[in-house]
Structure 1
Amino acid sequence: MAVVVWIVEGTWTACVDAARAHVPDGSEIVLLHVSGHEEPGVAHGAFAGLLGRGSPTQDPGSLIERLAAESAHRLLEEAAERLGRPCTRVERSGRIEREVVAAAEDADLLVLARDGDRSRLGPRSLGPHSRFVVDHAPCPLLLVWPEAAPDLSGIPAPPPHHP
């Protein structure tokens, strides 16, 4: 079984714990982290626009890219340690939701966590990236709550019956 576990700051422990609990021993597990290109791009653009042709060594976009790569590497190391079994670590960058879907192309299972409003049940418990992944994943999903799920009292009443 080939399993991709999407590692995101703030929710990764729930995904790793779900993989430990639900993925059979001997499965091929890929821990995936995707860095978006938006923040470094904004910094590169601001530097170029505000400061013209300044020294490329002072471009804050480069610093943001380096810090993001270091953070991703540390996060994947912690995730692998928590998983406690053989795995592959993959770092990708680009449009987050599309990179996750592409990484799951040959997977038998994708593990991800809710990342939106986690105070109540419903579609808003998924952020934009995870909503895209849920809608476009090419494989089955294991969607987990990063903490205890809210109780069922937040479910809206059914619509009134129309005769």
Structure 2
Amino acid sequence: MTVIAWIVEGTWPACVDAARAHAPEHADITLLHVADPCAPGAAHGAYAGLLGRAHPARDPGTALEHLASAAGERLLTAAAERLGRPCARQERTGRVEREVVAAAEGADLLVLARDGDRSRLGPHSLGPASRFVVDHAPCPVLLVWPEPAPSTATIPPAPPHPPHHR
């Protein structure tokens, strides 16, 4: 069995705990982190556009790329330590939601955490990237709450419907 646990800042402990609890002992677990290239790309563009032919070593986009890489590695290291069993670590860069879906191809299970409004039950508990992943995952998905789930009392009331007549 191959299990992918999507590691994201703020919600990763719940994903690691769920992978540990639900993956069989013999499962191959991969901890996946995806870096979004938008911030470094914007910094590269701003530097080039505003400063023209300035010295490339001062490009803030390069510094942001290094910071993002180091942050991803720290997350993966902490996640592997928390998992407490052999695992693979995978760092990808690109459109986050598409990279997660691509990484899940051929997997038996993808573990991810809710990352939207976690104060109530419902579809808004998923952010846009997580919604895309849930809708497009090529394998079963285990969707976990990063903290205890809200009460079922948080479900909005059903919309009024006219009586059903035959």
TM range (shorter): over 0.9
> Which residue number in structure 2 is paired with residue 37 of structure 1?
37
> Which residue number in structure 2 is paired with residue 84 of structure 1?
84
> Which residue number in structure 1 is paired with residue 3 of structure 2?
3
Kindly state the Cα deviation for residue 61 of structure 1 after the two structures are TM-superposed: 0.3
Task: Provide the aligned C-alpha RMSD in A.
Answer: 0.7
> Which residue number in structure 1 is paired with residue 101 of structure 2?
101
The TM-score normalised by the length of structure 1 is 0.98
SS in 2 for 1:26: coil
User: Which amino acid is 2:39 matched to?
Assistant: E
SS in 1 for 2:92: strand
Unaligned 5+ segments in structure 2 are none
> Which residue number in structure 1 is paired with residue 25 of structure 2?
25
Kindly state the Cα deviation for residue 162 of structure 1 after the two structures are TM-superposed: 1.6
Say if 2:135 is the partner of 1:135. Answer: yes
User: Which amino acid is 1:36 matched to?
Assistant: D
Kindly state the Cα deviation for residue 152 of structure 1 after the two structures are TM-superposed: 1.0
> Which residue number in structure 2 is paired with residue 62 of structure 1?
62
User: Which amino acid is 1:143 matched to?
Assistant: L
Distance in structure 1 (CA, Å) of the matches to 2:160 and 2:67: 53
Distance in structure 2 (CA, Å) of the matches to 1:42 and 1:128: 21
Report how many aligned residue pairs link the two structures. Answer: 163
SS in 1 for 2:43: helix
The runs of at least 4 aligned residues of structure 1 exceeding 6 Å deviation read none
Unaligned 5+ segments in structure 1 are none
> Which residue number in structure 2 is paired with residue 47 of structure 1?
47
Kindly state the Cα deviation for residue 72 of structure 1 after the two structures are TM-superposed: 0.6
User: Which amino acid is 1:48 matched to?
Assistant: A
The TM-score normalised by the length of structure 2 is 0.96
In our comparison, the structure showing a higher alpha carbon Rg is: 2
Percent of pairs with identical residues: 71
For each residue in 1:40-78, what CA deviation from the matched residue of structure 2 results, as whole angstroms up to 9, or x when unmatched?
011111101111111110000000000100111111011
